């Protein structure tokens, strides 16, 4: 009997499916979202959005400055 057979393939496929489901659930819980009580975004969500906008502006300005040098 070989290591790779139909039974092991099915068990591996099932483990992969369950693992993906658990990973999705954990990722969804880790993402900052809207506070249920106040109906406003959490402080971490606000900070993440601000950091994303600041990074985009920094990248855009740096790219624009590199284009002017040529």
34-51: average pLDDT: 78
How buried is residue 57: exposed, middle or buried, by Cβ count under 10 Å (0-12/13-18/19+)? exposed
Does 37 have pLDDT greater than 80? no
Given this model, what pLDDT does residue 68 score? 56
C-beta separation of 16 from 22 below 8 A: no
C-beta separation of 32 from 48 below 8 A: yes
35-48: average pLDDT: 76
Given this model, what pLDDT does residue 51 score? 94
In angstroms, rounded to a whole number, what is the distance separating the alpha carbons of residues 36 and 23? Answer: 23
* Residue pLDDT, tens place only, 10-33: 999 999 999 999 999 998 887 766
* Helical spans, DSSP H, in 1-70: 6-30, 43-69
pTM over 0.85: no
Given this model, what pLDDT does residue 39 score? 72
């Amino acid at each position: 009997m070989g290591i790779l057979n139909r039974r092991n393939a099915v068990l591996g496929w099932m483990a992969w499916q369950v693992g993906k489901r658990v990973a999705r659930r954990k990722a969804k819980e880790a993402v900052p979202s809207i506070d249920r009580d106040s109906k406003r975004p959490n402080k971490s969500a606000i900070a993440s959005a601000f950091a994303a906008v600041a990074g985009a502006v920094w990248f855009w300005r740096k790219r624009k400055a590199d284009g002017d040098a040529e």
